Structure 1
């Protein structure tokens, strides 16, 4: 059950959406003045915090030492209320305290990674503190962690809009051609893969990116047969995948973590075969598949040749992850991995290449009017609606690896 000012002296109202660097964020704090007096709250403050935190654990014999480094990004304290500074109306005990804060324009995106003996985070939070001076009194605190992404440039916004409307720009092809052999000995067969993607230096995050995957296989040279199957009815090697569930599509992230002179790396892999939406279970991505009929191709003589098969896959990918970033003690890069399986040991075809992820959201205009009130919403910023949430692990929202200042 949600808390109310009838039972709690302080209630924070703050919209839980992805924030954009440079954005002016607003909210309100409802203070029950009667309860605040009972609990001897003498001041209500709001704190905005942002930091890059990294840790590396080393071992010297039986001794483990965890080295930490914190790079402050935001450190703001503001007083919202002191006794006598604001009063409720005669028929109420509640006073609403509006706040407004502009995020710096150069903030790096929210981020969290963790592995054995190393980890790092770029995190942001606001906290309302009700100060209760005294040795045996603890301050009243309400903390909200929020996420941030960089603001997209005008060119990035145009690219994002073009992708959403149906990409009509140039494409680039990534090709692989391999010889495959069913066993240790014997003639080689052939498999070729062409991956086509929009020809862009950077892909906007949380935006559908169209792609096509064209797979062609050719059997080894054989005598002319009536069908591309053996006498037992089994398709002749190599058999291309006929449905998308056989493909492996992953995004690989390599993160470098630094604590002063120490450096470590963390490798993470994200499955792109499923679509993730906030508060919805993952579901299989919709893929259009076209399997062509096998074609006999004569070679040398009309009685010798090979069977050629072709399969086409068309779909989209989206990347709800932090844009590629190089910060003072944390940086990460991405690579796209496509794996096309074929029977036999070591016959899988792999396409791996680096990709850069960029911003996709405009910075909302500043609010109009008094702090905490505005006639503008995210619906006024194209594309309509709030920016999609980043795929951040639960540890980000719980504050793990974060550097929270509990004393101030």
Structure 2
């Protein structure tokens, strides 16, 4: 699944040096005279601060003839769309600000030291899309944020020295209380109403014959959005009804043999996932690209917490039939139910000039035969679940996590920060 990568601020005296990105124009303080110190293990939120310190090696800066050191905060949404072997690119600047922290002659290190440290502080815009890297379906979306320290060197042939640290950012969630309620529901201290989404289809074994029916229900909390980093419980219920079957034929069925259409015996025989559609634009080109973000029926943590009710199966007479008669018409009814919870750690729903996303939950129950699979699809809106900077320790899972990766870890590449 696509994932975030996080870091954030605390008090300056608690700052820990964050490793610079592996970039040809940046490096360690011994190479560039610069290092950026940011608090680690926290998540940045739109509208919130980005604070830290830049550390200067005064001796190295003098050797490089650096005239100024600036700290920059950049956010960029870059998209590519390829159609008919032609690729177009579009950039949208999300945040672009900088501050000078040192100029030649302004300050010197204390006696016996070559080190200078200067604090910096930025404020993120009030609304931002989440950090994201996506490639697929003829499109690319890169949404990146970074803090960069730049030592400015005069002269055409003297490249500026840089050290940059990528940030992970999510949008501030005005309904963050929903995450708190879900955490309370998992702890047994809160109650939330539920809502059920249902699909029923007629199915048959082959091209001819009578139809049976399959009814699938997905029940989830009745909430307007699904927040990240919170356990979201669900119930999947399947009811199958056979084609007409007399009482005598029902009594003659071998014990344990499923009747068509069969009810699923195990959670992992279903397919339950979160899908995302990205609408990607790059100037005159546009493309829609869909992909699986998380497949819960393959996630070990969701599977381990899943509870399956024993399958109920019985012959049921049709209305008005004499159920004691061997020739009484009826149907074979089977029921199965599965309960568990998942935790989302993907980039949430967003909309900007060159890209937007939408999500839906998809339950698929496989039924033997051609075209017999039954789906329940539920559109959902994902939010960050947080309204202020949160240490990562506060986002550790206490319930199953969707995906194989550590929660609160959104991946991204670090390639294009040369501006």
Which residue of structure 2 lines up, in the alignment, with residue 289 of structure 1?
308
Give the 5 Å matches for 1:356-371. 356-364=381-389
| 1:353 to partner: Cα distance | 2.5
1:392 Cα deviation (Å)? Answer: 4.0
**CA displacement at 1:384 relative to structure 2:** 4.0
State the partner residue of 1:367: none
Alignment pair present for 1:122 and 2:138: no
Identify the residue that residue 97 of structure 1 maps to in structure 2. Answer: 118
Q: After superposition, what is the alpha-carbon deviation per residue over 1:154-199, rounded to whole angstroms, capped at 9, x for unaligned?
A: xx12221111111622221111122221222222222211211112
1:173-322 correspondence to structure 2 within 5 Å: 173-224=196-247, 230-231=253-254, 234-273=257-296, 284=303, 286-299=305-318, 300-302=321-323, 303=326, 304=328, 305-322=330-347
Distance in 1, matches of 2:180 and 2:345, equals 17
Task: Give 2:37's aligned residue.
Answer: 13
SS in 2 for 1:240: coil
CA contact (8 A) 2:68 2:104 kept: yes
Consecutive unaligned residues in structure 1, runs of 5 or more: 365-377
Q: Is the 8 A contact 1:272 1:317 kept in 2?
A: no
Distance (Å, rounded) in 2 between the aligned partners of 1:390 and 1:330: 22
2:304 and 2:351 map into 1 onto residues whose CA distance is 31
With normalisation by structure 1, the TM-score equals 0.82
1:330 to partner: Cα distance: 1.2
Q: Distance in 1 between matches of 2:134 and 2:341?
A: 26
Shift of 1:246: 0.7
1:37 aligns with 2:58: no
Q: Deviations over 1:10-61 (max 9, x none)?
A: 22212344310011111112211112222333322111111222222344xx
Indicate if the aligned counterparts of 2:363 and 2:375 stay in contact, CA closer than 8 A. Answer: yes
Is residue 350 from structure 1 mapped to residue 375 from structure 2 by the alignment? yes
Give the distance between the partners of 1:55 and 1:193, measured in 2 at CA: 39
TM-score of the pair, normalised by structure 2: 0.80
- Are 1:162 and 2:185 matched, yes or no? no
Aligned partner of 1:369 in structure 2 is: none
Contact residue 45 and residue 171 of structure 2 kept, 8 A:
yes
Q: Give the Cα separation in 2 of the matches to 1:405 and 1:318.
A: 35
Quote the Cα distance in structure 2 between the aligned partners of 1:120 and 1:270: 15
* Cα RMSD (Å): 3.0
Distance in 1 (CA, whole Å) between partners of 2:152 and 2:303 is 50
Count of aligned residue pairs for this structure pair: 376
Q: 1:96 to 1:275 in 2, by over 3 A?
A: farther
Contact (CA 8 Å) 2:361, 2:379: kept in 1 or not? Answer: yes
Pick from 126, 151, 161 the counterpart of residue 140 of structure 1.
161
Q: Is the Cα–Cα contact under 8 Å of residues 307 and 338 in structure 2 kept in the other structure?
A: yes
Question: Alpha carbons of 1:283 and 1:311: their partners in 2 closer, same or farther (altered >3 Å)?
Answer: closer
Question: What residue in structure 2 maps to residue 333 of structure 1?
Answer: 358
* Pairwise CA distance, 1:314: 0.8
Does the 8 A contact of 1:259 with 1:329 survive in 2?
yes
Summarize deviations over 1:344-377 as a string: whole Å, max 9, x none.
221111111211112310224xxxxxxxxxxxxx
The change in CA–CA distance for 1:385 and 1:358 in structure 2 (over 3 A counts) is closer
